[in-house]
Amino acid sequence: MRVLVTGGAGFVGSQVVEALVARGHEPVVLDALLPSAHPEPPPPRPGEHRVVADVRDRGAVDAALRGVDAVSHQAAMVGLGKDFADAAHYVACNDLGTAVLLAAMAAAGVGRLVLAGSMVVYGEGRYECRAHGVVRPGPRAVTDLDAGRFEPHCPDCGAELRPGLVGEDAPADPRNVYAATKLAQEHLAASWARATGGRAVSLRYHNVYGPGMPRDTPYAGVASFFRSALARGEAPTVYEDGGQRRDFVHVRDIAAANVRALEAMADRETDGPGRGTAREAGTLTAYNTGSGAPHTVGEMARVLAEAYGGPAPVVTGEYRLGDVRHVTASSRRIAEELGWRAEVEFAPGMREFAREGMRAGAGPGTVRRA
């Protein structure tokens, strides 16, 4: 299978390329290789054909799609960013870029897409109230955050809530610009699938970490922030009280999920309905893609610092308004339908991440997947 990987020189994309080659597929990489993301452009990997261009360049995308069977769309501007001034960059990179890609795929007759989705589309995760069952708390009040009251409460009775695992059928509730663009990408992909009869899968990544993460950038995940601080000889800075629950999933597992989804779509077309195959043509199917083992942000910082041999984390009590308290996934659907499960466990994965190097970071306007 010949697969176009957008953002294929980036953190996740490069791992997808390696996984494709290992399975005997032929990757074509489309990456802008912006100096802010790649001060020293990495050489093409064995078995990789590379096109240096922006995913918003329709002519370059048309050329890159020639002879392609499927697309793994990893190119994006990621992370919470610095402030709302970044909104135009996020929308241009993520949503316009996706629209250009999908239009080119429709014209070229390429009918299989795996989208790098994100758990941020859910907002807060799943919560239960002892009296009212499953509830969805609204955004946390600034007065509560200022007072150090970080846990959401039942919107009906104000009682404490128990966090659980969110499923793919939970309502979307994006609470920052990045989250809004990731949900828009899914809507665009679903519209493309309906219009063309294509098959689309959105892998809703949870907190991806691992070797090759970008360092010293506000456009990355919490694992990158902590590892960057340790590399500078500084203590990781933990917001709130460190009790935020997340699902940390290794980048190699994410790459394997991409390949499995691509192969499942091909299986569906050749073998018809069956176990381990993707769903019907003309639809988008979302899959939570996490480890299935929640950990707190404070725990992750502590384990990473101990493995690195650096300063212990500092819990500041500060907060970012666009953050949510708890969001962890049920990855049951992807296990049952595609046969994918994360293999890298939390502690050994963090130890590896502490040992391995990071790449130079990126600034505003970067088009990449991290």
Instruction: Supply the residues annotated as catalytic.
Output: 178
CA distance 194 to 130: 41
3-state secondary structure 183-249: HHHHHHHHHHHHHHCCEEEEEEECEEECCCCECCCCCCCHHHHHHHHHHCCCCCEECCCCCCEECEE
CA distance 115 to 103: 15
140, 127 contact by CB (below 8 A): no
State which amino acid sits at residue 46: P
166, 328 contact by CB (below 8 A): yes
Q: Taking CA 7 as the corner, what is the angle to CA 229 and CA 181, rounded to the nearest 5 degrees?
A: 80
- 9-33 burial, b if ≥16 CB within 10 A, otherwise e? bbbbbbbbbbbbbeeebebbbbbbb
